[in-house]
Structure 1
Amino acid sequence: MSVPAPTRSLRDWLARLGQSGRLSVTRPGIGLRHEAAAVANRLDGRSATLFPRPDGQDGTIVSGLVSSRAWMAEALGTTEDRLVAHVQQACAAPLPWRERETGPAQSIVHRTDIDLLRMLPVPTLNEHDGGPYISAGLMISRDPETGAQNVAILRCQINGPDRIGVLVLPRHTDHFYRRAEAAGRGLEVALVVGVDPACLLASQAIVPLGQDELEIAGALTGVPLDVVKCLTNDVRVPAEAEIVIEGRILPELREPEGPFGEFPQYYGERAERHVMQVDAVTHRERPLFHMIVGGGLEHLLLGAIPREATILATLKRSFPGVEDVHLSLGGVGRYHLYVKLRKTQEGEAKNVLLGAFAAHYDIKHVVVVDMDVDIHDPKEVEWAVATRFQADRDLVVVAHSQGSKLDPSAREGVGAKMGLDATAPLDAPPMKFTRIRVPGQAELDLAAVVVPDADWRAVLGG
């Protein structure tokens, strides 16, 4: 089966979705407050959505661009079964980006009279969100000492005409910010809205400090990513982006941000957060504003797929028998991990469980299964637990360990982890754990044996 070529801009991907019947266009004027998000959620996983002139405002919103694994694989020019390996390879062999003098992202420039809510169709998403949010923007920051870049998706609330409240977690962006703040200046950043699927996915890669995720984006599509330098700072951004908001995260300043509907499908609390001062806005002609609804499939998958790639690589270094991993949607793409293991010794599955907990602090529950179980089918995993797991023998619990601070059942991010060894014993009698199977079932051509629209009464001669 031939695999389509990767797409290298949001518009190329949108065109492919439209040509294949996977893009819905709403009537003009859909409301920015909740209504656009409601429509996007109703179509989540079935169709991307384009919203012309929301609330009568100039501009266009798009949503649901990569709300299935198959779509993401297609956008990257690979297959769904090769997606995690494709991401692993890109992280291991990034392609340095290629700088251009200018690009479509800088077709129109605003340096004065900036009013973000007047210029851009920024929606309010979930019921109790603190206000309009840029939820699909890549926050690209630059280390003030080394010049290395970092790319992340951070939640960004519009708090004024040229002010944005930003949740900066204690990761790479925060590391750069602390260096800038120690020198008494703000951190140079660009908030980029409307990029191709490779840039979106690369932004979530778990890589060492100093590794520019834009280089991973290039590796995901097989060619270096074209970038341009911002007009007011030294940050490099994708040249084909729709919108670029240039600015600085200010030192020694915090302002209220939140609440916001997060990936666990609860709200992240309102608190004093970092503040971005906007210095300029550039964009394409008639730009597209990408919206990700908090807690939807696009949100979950963008977090899950890169984590799977990193976790699989981490586990395979210590446990060569680990064949595949999957972060389930029921576990919000973060908390529940299924591991497929080619077990060779008793006790091995429990070691794999402990290794999985160490692979990423977000992981809360792990199930290890045998090679005959499809870890991408939650019914299969549940079947393995039902028939191969005994709690007094196969359960591992680790109390008082670091987890996700967005897990409402944890206490300030500290909670318990649970592992289930749902593998069959190696010394079991041959037929005890042999799955039932009807020979020829998988290969059967139903069209050759089932008569369409047949009248059962006529068959009986009645």
Structure 2
Amino acid sequence: MNAQHFDTPAKARDLRTWLAHLEATKRLAVLRDGVPLRHTLAAIAKRLDGSQAAYFPKPDGHAIPVVSGFISRRAWIAEAMGVEQAGLLAAFRHAADNPLPWREVEPGSAPCQQVVHTDVDLHALLPIPTHSEHDNGPYITAGLVIARNPVTGIQNVSINRIQVHGKDRMAILMLPRHLLAFYKAAEAENQALDVAVVIGADPLTLLASQAITPIDHDELEIAGALHGAPLAVSKCLGSEVRVPANAEIVIEGKLLPQLREPEGPFGEFPKYYSARENREVIEVTAVTHRANPIFHTIVPAEMEHLLLGSIPREATMLAHLQRSFPGVLDVHLSVGGVGRYHLFVKFRKLREGEPRNVILGAFGTHYDIKQVTIVDDDVDVHDPQQVEWAVATRFQADRDLIVIAGAQGSALDPSTTIGHDYGEDEVAPPHLQGISAKMGLDATKPVAYRGHVFTKVRIPGELEIDLDREIVRGATVDWHEAKVRP
């Protein structure tokens, strides 16, 4: 993809501009004042998920409004990026491969630092929702957690669930990725790790935070590439961490060494609850925000959550597979597979046996992948009915099924714990968490076959029909005479 074909529209430059665009195009619903932060706000946002963003002006009477669901459709994300939906993965991959160093603004000039709080009570200051029925209290679900590698100084950006369980203390889940590696390096020296939790970032910076990159690749530089210009950042008041200058809210703090506190249960993306466990702790030192900030929350396991995780992964997986298998044309992490576990691959097959190699290669793209289905190039991998049709008519389990036992999978997949005798408050030890079986389905037709046995049925001209020309608008039928009245 050439850079000159990539022009991000101004409507996505910050959160407010994007919300104004959604409102102008009837894709934002303004809710009544006073919606309760406990459960009701999330329930309303879930009902609107994928149709309209939800804007809550005074939740529970709080002065700070809450927004949710503003990138809950794949087409909206493509629109924010300024590309057609079919070019979404290529545009994201281009940005990830061509990051732009960020641009630092003058100290004190960043919108995200217009108001400063150093005596912090998070529960009083911010409208933090409690989402699901058995969640153990209010959670920050859309916070970009930014930290610097204590060895190299290069930043990492991720979204982590954060339970707010004190006025200036939060417990955080860190999976075995870059943020946890930074923390472990600092903890080994008995040092705290400076972090910032950014709430209310623009849609493209949110998307960039989920890029699958090697360690020491700052996702804010990918955000700049998605915007088509270096991202404006500001140095935190109390650390060297840089944050998006146009964000709504920034929580500054430190990940404390040698300290764990209970976190969970919490309703996660697989649509099940993760267990209560002792997690690492952030001590909050300051909160800064715009003069009239907006708080963003992601309803767990709904489309905004799933798409943020799946689209960057798809872009990485497609690029990885195409390097080894040029016949790979497209990939899709299905919604039914919670945007993580089930991968559909469109493949132009030239030789028997190729799909098996693609399946094995796909499992290597990310340990979360649990099931890979390979289909031919006449199947749309974004249409689950077409994929199911291919499995129904081109797959035989005794011939086309691959099963790999005992592989590393997702620790958040509850099926990986079935058969283990753990008590209500017990969890599997870390070395046993997420042990999973992998399954590959070759749903491709044979390279050679007789007659039309595997020829897809179509009617000549069906794709060219213009129904506006063929249908007589406003006509009625006299059913007694069986005649049409114009």
Deviation at 1:439, TM superposition (A): 1.2
In structure 2, what is the Cα distance between the partners aligned to 1:454 and 1:37? 45
Letter of the structure 2 residue corresponding to residue 5 of structure 1 = P
Match of 1:302 in 2: 308
Which residue does the alignment assign to 1:5? Answer: 9
Q: 1:361 is matched with which residue: 367, 374, 378?
A: 367
Q: Which moved more, 1:1-10 or 1:410-419?
A: 1-10
| Partner residue, 2:201 | 195
Residue 75 of structure 2 corresponds to which residue in structure 1?
70
- 1:72-91 superposed matches below 5 A: 72-91=77-96
Q: Report the secondary structure of 1:337's partner residue.
A: strand
Secondary structure, counterpart of 1:32 in structure 2: coil
> In 1, distance between residues paired with 2:263 and 2:334?
30
**Does the CA contact (< 8 Å) of 1:77 and 1:221 recur in 2?**
no
Cα shift at 1:2: 12
Residue 250 in structure 1 maps to residue 256 in structure 2: yes
State the aligned residue count. 461
Asked if residue 216 in structure 1 is aligned to residue 222 in structure 2, the reply is: yes
1:103-135: CA deviation from partner (whole Å, max 9, x where unpaired)? 1000001112x1011111000000000100110
Aligned with 2:383 (options 348, 369, 377): 377
SS at match of 1:117: helix
> Partner residue of 2:46?
41
Q: What is the Cα deviation at residue 430 of structure 1?
A: 4.3
Question: Residue 431 of structure 1: CA displacement?
Answer: 1.5
Letter in 2 for 1:95: L
> Where do residues 435-450 of structure 1 align in structure 2 (5 Å cutoff)?
435-450=456-471
Aligned: 1:434 with 2:441: no
Check conservation: 1:3, 1:79, Cα contact below 8 A. no
Is residue 2:482 matched to residue 1:460? yes
Identify the match of residue 288 of structure 2 among 282, 285, 295: 282
Shift of 1:457: 2.2
RMSD: 1.4
The 1:259–1:403 alpha-carbon spacing in structure 2 relative to 1, beyond 3 Å, is same
The amino acid of 2:116's aligned partner reads V
State the Cα deviation string for residues 231-285 of structure 1 (Å, max 9, x = none).
Answer: 0011000000000000100000000011111100001111100000001100001
Aligned to 1:233: 239
User: What do the CA deviations read for 1:423-448 (whole angstroms, capped 9, x no partner)?
Assistant: 11111124121111111111111122
1:111 alignment partner AA: T
Q: Which amino acid aligns with 2:391?
A: V
| 1:316-353 deviation digits (Å, cap 9, x = unpaired) | 11111111100000000000100011111110001101
Query: Are the aligned partners of 2:8 and 2:227 in contact in 1 as well (CA < 8 Å)?
Result: no
Moved over 3 A (4+): 1-4
TM-score normalised according to structure 2 size: 0.93
Alignment of 1:114-263 (within 5 A): 114-263=120-269
What's the counterpart of residue 104 of structure 2?
A: 99
Task: Please give the alpha-carbon distance, in whole angstroms, between the structure 2 residues aligned to 1:419 and 1:259.
Answer: 32
Per-residue deviation, 1:453: 3.9
- The one-letter code sitting in structure 1 at the alignment partner of 2:115 is I
CA contact (8 A) 2:8 2:228 kept: no
TM-score, length-normalised on structure 1?
Answer: 0.98
Query: Which amino acid in 1 is paired with 2:453?
Result: K
8 Å contact 2:6–2:91 — kept in the other structure? no
Partner of 1:55: 60
User: How far does the alpha carbon of each residue in 1:134-179 deviate from its partner, in whole angstroms, 9 at most, with x for none?
Assistant: 1000000111121110000000010100001111111100111111
Structure 2: how far apart are the matches of 1:343 and 1:441?
26
Q: Secondary structure at the match of 1:409?
A: helix
Shift of residue 79, structure 1, vs aligned partner: 1.5
SS at 2:50 equivalent: coil
Instruction: Give, as a single letter, the amino acid of the residue that structure 2 aligns with 1:50.
Output: Y
1:110 aligns with 2:114: no
Letter in 1 for 2:198: V
| Corresponding residue for residue 425 of structure 2 | none
Q: How many angstroms apart in 2 are the aligned matches of 1:181 and 1:122?
A: 29
Distance 1:455 1:169 in 2: 62
> CA–CA distance in 2 between the matches of 1:372 and 1:175?
43
Change (3 A) 1:3 1:279: closer
CA distance in 2, matches of 1:158, 1:406: 21
- What amino acid does structure 1 have at the position aligned with 2:50? G
Aligned equivalent of 1:389, options 386, 395, 401: 395
8 Å contact kept, 1:349–1:421: yes
